[in-house]
Amino acid sequence: MRVLIVDDVAPARRAIRSLLEEDPEITVVGEAENGEEAVALALRLRPDVITMDVLMPVLDGYAATARIMSECPTPIVAVTSLSLEDGTVMARMIEAGAVDVMSKAFSRAPKEWERMRRELVHRVKAAARVSVRGIPEGHASAAQVGCNAAFAASRPPAGRRPRLVVVAASTGGPPALRTLLGGLEASLAAPVLVVQHISKGFTAWMAEWLNGSIGRVVSVAQDGERARSGRVYLAPDDRHLRVLPEEILRLSEAPPVRSLRPSADVLFRSAAQAYGRDVVGVVLTGMGDDGARGARAIKEAGGRVLAQSEESATIFGMPRAVIEAGLADEVLAPNEMARRLLFLCGRGEAS
C-alpha cells in the first residue's frame, strides 16, 4: 500500500511516516509540505491513500482535498491537530471529499504512541479499500437493470403506502445521506430513521450539518419521542434505536450487535415487527453487512428494501450483502432513491 503524507510541519511528517512504516504492508512514497505540492505529487505518484493535514500554507487541506478529488480521485484521511469537537472540521473535510478524519496527537509515551499507530494504520488501510471513482450517480450496472425493471412498475396498493423509512449507513454515509435526504421533501408522508456508524461524539454535528445542507429538520432521536412525517431522526452515539407502533422511538443500552451500537439490524427488525409491509429499508454505503439481517426481516414482513448501487457507493460492503442475499427490490444511487421514496410514500402535510 502506497501512501503520500501531507503536512506543513516536518516533525509531524516524520512522526506519521514512522508510525505508518512500522507496518510492513505500508510504504510511504512521498511527502508534501503544503496543499499545492500535495496535488502535484498525487498526480505524479498516484498513491493508494493520502494523509492530509488541514491548516497549511499556499493551499490548505480543504482546497487540496477538493482539487485532488476532482483531478485524480484518491482516498484521503485527514490527520489534524484542530479540534474535532464541534464537527466543523470533519464536516468541511467530508464535503471536500475526505473519507475519514482523525486527530493528530503525538506523544512520547509508549502506550499513546502505540494507540496512535494502531488508529492511523487502521484508518489508512480502511481508506485504501474505499472506491472513489467519479462515476455519475445515476449510472446503473447491467446486472442491476433487471432487478430495477421488475420493480419499477409496481405501485403501493391503492390507499396503502409505506409509513416509515429506515436507513443504514457507514463509511461514506454522510455524503450519501446528504444526497438522499436532500432529494426528499419536508412533506414526505413518513418519518425517516437513520443509523449512521460514525466516531463517537459526532452524531450531533452530523445532524446540524445535514440541517444546514438540506434545509430539513434533522435531529438526534430522543427516547420516548414520537417521530413525525417528513422529519429525519439519527440514532444517537452508543445507543440502539428502535421504533414501536405509533412512531414511538426507544433508545437502548442493550449489548452491541456484532460489535455495533447503534446497529441497523436492530432498527430494521423493530420496524419490521411494528410496521410489517408498511416500511421501506434503505441500505447505503459501508463496510461489513450491518442491515442485511434486518433487511431480511423487512422482506419477510412484506416490506421493501432499496440498496445503493456499486457505482455510487464509497464502500459497497453493506449494499453488496443485501443484494447478494437476494433482498434488494431495487439497486439505486442515492438521488434515485429519493425520487423512489417520494413515489412510494407520497406527500402529506409538512410537520
Reply yes or no on whether 290 is catalytic.
yes
Side-chain half-sphere exposure of 82, counting CA atoms within 13 A = 22
For residue 191, the tally of other CB atoms under 10 A from its CB is: 22
Cα 184 to Cα 138: distance, rounded to the nearest angstrom: 16
For 12, counting Cβ atoms within 10 Å of its Cβ (0-12 exposed, 13-18 middle, 19+ buried), the class is: middle
| Cell numbers that stand for 8 in this block | 506543513
Side-chain half-sphere exposure of 270, counting CA atoms within 13 A = 24
Catalytic residue among 53, 197, 265, 329: 197
Decide the pairing of beta strands 240-244 and 248-252. Answer: antiparallel
Catalytic residue among 48, 278, 290, 329: 290
Reply yes or no on whether 170 is catalytic.
yes
Decide: helix, strand or coil at residue 101: strand
Cα 170 to Cα 290: distance, rounded to the nearest angstrom: 9
Residues 6+ apart with CB under 8 A from 17: 5, 28, 31
Cα 53 to Cα 32: distance, rounded to the nearest angstrom: 10
For residue 98, the tally of other CB atoms under 10 A from its CB is: 24
CA-CA-CA-CA dihedral for 284, 289, 294, 295, to nearest 10 = 60
Cα 219 to Cα 351: distance, rounded to the nearest angstrom: 14
Catalytic residue among 100, 170, 265, 289: 170
The helices-and-strands tally (H runs, E runs) of the chain is 12, 14
- DSSP state string for 201-270: T-HHHHHHHHHHHH-S-EEE--TTPBP-TT-EEEPPTT-EEEEEGGGEEEEE-PPPBTTBSS-HHHHHHH
Cα separation of the two ends of the chain:
49
Q: Annotated catalytic sites, by residue? A: 170, 197, 290
